[in-house]
Amino acid sequence: MAIEQEIKKNSTLHKEFQTLLDKDFKNRKLKENEIIKATVTEITKNFVVVDCKAKMEGMIPVEEFKNDNEFEKLKPGSQIDVYLERIESFKGEIIISRDKARKMKAWRKMEKVFETQEEMTGYITGKVKGGFIATVEGLPCFMPSSQIDVRPLKRIDHLMNTPVKVIATRIDKNRGNVCVSRRAVLEKSKNAEIVEALKNIKEGDIVDNAIVKATTDWGIFLDINGIDALLHVSDLSHGRVKKPADLVTIGQKLKVKITKIDEKTNRVSASVKALTEDPYENIDKKYKVGEIYEGVVTKIMDYGCFVKIEDSIEGLIHNSELDWTNKNVKPSKILSVSQKIKFKIVNIDKDTKRISLSYKATLENPWEQIKNKLGEKVKIKINNITDKALFGELVDKKLSGMLHYKEISYDENVENLKKFKKNDIIEVKILEIKDDKIRFSKRALDKDPFEWFDENKKKVGDVITTRIHEVLKTGVKVSIDKDKKLIVTIRKADLAKDTADARPEVFSPGNALDAKITDLDLKARKIKLSVKAAQIDEEKSLIAKFGEGATKSGATLKGIFEKAIGKKGKKEK
């Protein structure tokens, strides 16, 4: 009986305890996948034991506390945030994580500070392709190499695993990626300093102690009371500057004028030449276009030479103004650097600060001298031979000209070019000089065969006796003069009045052939002959002389010709 009462009593106590326990758990309201508060109850070698007010205590590996030295501060009774993954596993254990709680908390904070661009503290813990891993409040973030400092760093050992200030620059919620930048924090801090320093200077100020920090081909970087400024190469001098490094050294102090302050970018521009008077302002009073002056060659380019006229003033001699005979001459073949020369001012442009000069204008012009030799016989040296002409240079003047194949001989045969070769010296006559170009003629030194017509007083309508020179399929070539320099082609249609007699094959070289001059242009050197026209004229003459009586007596035209020819023969006998 006592035993039964004891069992009944224990059962009642168990029910009461179970009821109290269930009520306590019900009030705790634990939810999975949330961050909850936990109290450290024990710290062992490998685990940190915490009370999460669950059915049993949770155990967290010590490694999850060592990322930011939190483990050293832990002690029993410390409260920490943990991430509740599962209230009860299949083993009846509670699954919690300090590392995941820290990352979730950091992610939520990261989303807030990304909007406000608030600075956070992180640790650069590793290097990856293209950048570094920065752990920010337990959350691994990517920091590109370009975002670690305002200037490229060769080594970053001093930054590894040390606290650095960063700003979140990009967040990818889908992938859970965050990009951070240390450079943005440095620039933000530096910009604040610059803004404060810029309050002490303004455009137009003259600074005596601008320090040269660095030089490039396009300018000089200056330090003006802690502010970076740019002195562009074009603001160094009114003249042309080859390299800024030739004028200054690192650490040198310069006197400059503040020319521009960009409030948006906080960039400052300075100038040295703004402190001196522009030499181009009154240049038209000191130098006149068309006048000759002296200067020194400072630089030679492919397109011409630069000449120093005075300090900060230079002019350009284009290669077309270097030599009279060659407009595309290589400048280095005419002038050299540091050479003192005379030049003529061709043009002054004050707006663009450009001065055009001429060197050849100070030299004797060979084209003016050769104008007096127009029509004279000269010697040329052949420099080049083409398909249609040869080009030669005057032996005494070094001026080049052209001899067309039609001006080699009066026969105007292109094959005549083969009679010459390069470097041959020949005699020619200057036919024309125009636009710095010369036209030569070799045949002009010989007697013109067309003078035969004037000498023999022959004109259009006259009948002349020629000799067959060559028989062609389309006609015959005949020679007019004894020297056979006047060769004319008579077409097949002009060989005879009757078509049957106009066959070229009935003619033989050397035979005499009477032909009428139907066209003669001595200037254009054109002549046209016709045997047919001569026969028609002769027929008309015979008909006019014997035709009336012969027609009435019934005589034929053939009989009239035979009779006339017979009478003529008797008289000749």
Cβ–Cβ < 8 Å for 346, 289? yes
State the pLDDT at residue 455.
Answer: 83
Cβ–Cβ < 8 Å for 97, 132? no
Cβ–Cβ < 8 Å for 337, 299? yes
In this prediction, what percent of the chain has a pLDDT beyond 70?
Answer: 87
* Residue 552: Cβ within 10 Å count: 8
| Region for residue 62 given its phi and psi (left: phi exceeds 0; alpha: psi -120 to 50; beta: otherwise) | alpha
pLDDT, greater one: 16 or 340: 340
Quote the crossing angle between the two packed helices 531-552 and 557-572, to the nearest 10°. 100
User: Could you tell me the sign of the dihedral formed by the alpha carbons of 360, 365, 366, 370, in that order?
Assistant: positive
Poorest-confidence range of 244-248, 264-268, 429-433?
Answer: 264-268
Q: Which class is domain 117-188?
A: mainly beta
State the pLDDT at residue 336.
Answer: 93
Which CATH number is correct for 200-275, 3.40.50.300, 3.40.50.11900, 2.40.50.140, 3.40.50.11890?
2.40.50.140
Identify the three-state secondary structure at position 188: helix
CA dihedral 125, 127, 133, 138 (to 10 degrees): -30
pTM of the model: 0.47
- The CATH code of the domain at 283-362 is 2.40.50.140
Render pLDDT for 181-236 as a digit per residue (tens, 0 to 9): 998 888 777 776 667 667 778 888 888 888 898 888 888 888 887 778 888 888 88
User: What is the average pLDDT across 125-151?
Assistant: 87
- What is the fold of 366-445? OB fold (Dihydrolipoamide Acetyltransferase, E2P) (2.40.50)
* Residue 240: Cβ within 10 Å count: 16
Render pLDDT for 287-340 as a digit per residue (tens, 0 to 9): 899 999 999 999 899 999 999 998 878 899 999 999 888 878 899 999 999 999
315 alpha carbon, distance to own chain's centre: 25
The DSSP result for 454-523, as a single string, is HHTT--TT-EEEEEEEEE-SSEEEEE-STTS--EEEEEGGGS-SSGGG--GGG--TT-EEEEEEEEEETT
Element (H, E) at 274: none
Residue with tokens 């390299």: 243
pLDDT value at 4 more than 70: no
Render pLDDT for 53-77 as a digit per residue (tens, 0 to 9): 777 788 888 877 766 667 777 788 8
pLDDT value at 369 more than 70: yes
Q: Count of alpha carbons within 13 Å of 410, Cβ hemisphere only?
A: 18
Buried b (16+ CB within 10 A) or exposed e, 278-299: ebbeebeeebeeeeebebebbe
Q: Could you confirm whether domain 26-116 is CATH 2.40.50.140?
A: yes
pLDDT value at 569 more than 50: no
Amino acid at 451: E
Q: What is the DSSP letter of 146?
A: G
Could you tell me the pLDDT band of residue 571, with boundaries at 50, 70 and 90?
Answer: very low
First-to-final CA distance of the chain: 198
State the pLDDT at residue 547.
Answer: 61
Break the chain into its structural domains and give their ranges: 26-116, 117-188, 200-275, 283-362, 366-445, 451-538
Poorest-confidence range of 270-284, 490-504, 546-560?
Answer: 546-560
- What is the fold of 451-538? OB fold (Dihydrolipoamide Acetyltransferase, E2P) (2.40.50)
